[in-house]
Amino acid sequence: MHIRVINPNTTAGMTATIGEAASRIASPGTRISARHPDHGPVSIESHFDEAVSAVGVLEEVLAGEREGADAYVIACFGDPGLLAARELTRAPVIGIAEAAFHMATLISTRFSIVTTLGRTGIIAEHLLEQYGFHQHCRRVRAAEIPVLDLEADDDVALNRIIDECRQARDEDNIGAIVLGCGGMADLTDTISREVGLPVVEGVTAAVKLAEALVGLGLCTSKHGDLAFPRPKTFTGRFEGFSQLTPQL
C-alpha cells in the first residue's frame, strides 16, 4: 500500500517531520511518501494561505495518481483543498482535522483542540461546524506560536503547547486533546505523558484511517459532487489543468 502524505506548505523540515511520524505509525507493508508543493506559503496560518496552498495540494494528488498511490493524506489542520482533491481520484483522501475529530470522538465524549494561533483556531471552529463535530468540542485553544516556531524554537514551542494542554485538562472538562497543526505530528507521546490525557494528532490518525479504507476496499465515490471534474480549458498559469481525464 502506498500512501502519499502531502504537506501543503513548502517547508522541507516540516515535511520531513510529518513523513517520519507517518512512517512510524504505518503498518508493515505500507509505504509512506511525504511530499510538499514546489510553490506556495512556507506556513499556513490564514484563509489566504489555505487558498494558495490548495493548488499545490491538487498538483501533488495528480502526481500521486501517475505514481499509483492508494490513498492520500492532506497534512494541514485546515484540510485545504480536501473536497477538490477527492474529485481528482478514486483513492481515499483524508484531511488531518477531520481524521483527528473522528478519532477523538471514539475515545472520549468531549475534547478540546490546542492549535498554534488564535486566528487558525477560528478556522478550526469552522471545520467543526462543517464536519458535524461542534457539539463534541469544548474549546479551541491557541498556544499563540507561529507555525514555523515548531521547527525553529521547538523546546519553547513544546512547553507552551504543554501548558495550554494542561489548562484544557483542568478547565474544559474533557477526555482528550486534539493537536491542531500538522507540525505537531511528532509531539503526541510527549504531550500525553506530561498531561495525562489521550492526545490525538491528525497525521497519524489520517494514516491509520487511510489504511483502513484501503483495506476495506472503499474508494471515493464518483457519484454526485465528488465525480471527476468535467474536462475543460484552463488558461494562463492553470493551463496544465486543461482537459483533465481520470486515471481509471
Topology of 2-95+205-241 in CATH?
A: Rossmann fold (3.40.50)
**What does pLDDT average to over the chain?**
95
What's the pLDDT at 153?
A: 63
Pick the closest to residue 39 from 21, 22, 54, 26 (CA basis): 54
pLDDT in tens, 82-137: 999 999 999 999 999 999 999 999 999 999 999 999 999 999 999 999 999 999 99
Q: How far is CA 231 from the centre of its chain?
A: 28
CATH second-level architecture of 97-202? 3-Layer(aba) Sandwich (3.40)
pLDDT higher than 80, residue 242: yes
CB 217 within 8 A of CB 70: no
pLDDT higher than 70, residue 21: yes
Sequence-ordered list of residues with C-beta below 8 angstroms from that of 133, at least 6 positions apart, any chain: 101, 105
What's the pLDDT at 149?
A: 86
pLDDT in tens, 147-161: 888 877 678 889 999
What's the pLDDT at 93?
A: 98
Average pLDDT estimate for 206-230: 97
pLDDT higher than 80, residue 16: yes
pLDDT in tens, 33-76: 999 999 999 999 999 999 999 999 999 999 999 999 999 999 99
At 20, the amino acid letter reads E
Instruction: Give, in order, the Cα–Cα distances in Å from 10 to each of 30, 72, 118, 143, 235.
Output: 24, 17, 22, 23, 25
What's the pLDDT at 150?
A: 84
What's the pLDDT at 154?
A: 72
Sequence-ordered list of residues with C-beta below 8 angstroms from that of 201, at least 6 positions apart, any chain: 21, 100, 178, 179, 184, 185, 187, 188
CB 64 within 8 A of CB 72: yes
What's the pLDDT at 233?
A: 96
What's the pLDDT at 248?
A: 53
Pick the closest to residue 20 from 194, 221, 188, 229 (CA basis): 188
- From-to residues of CATH 3.40.50.12500 in the chain: 2-95+205-241, 97-202
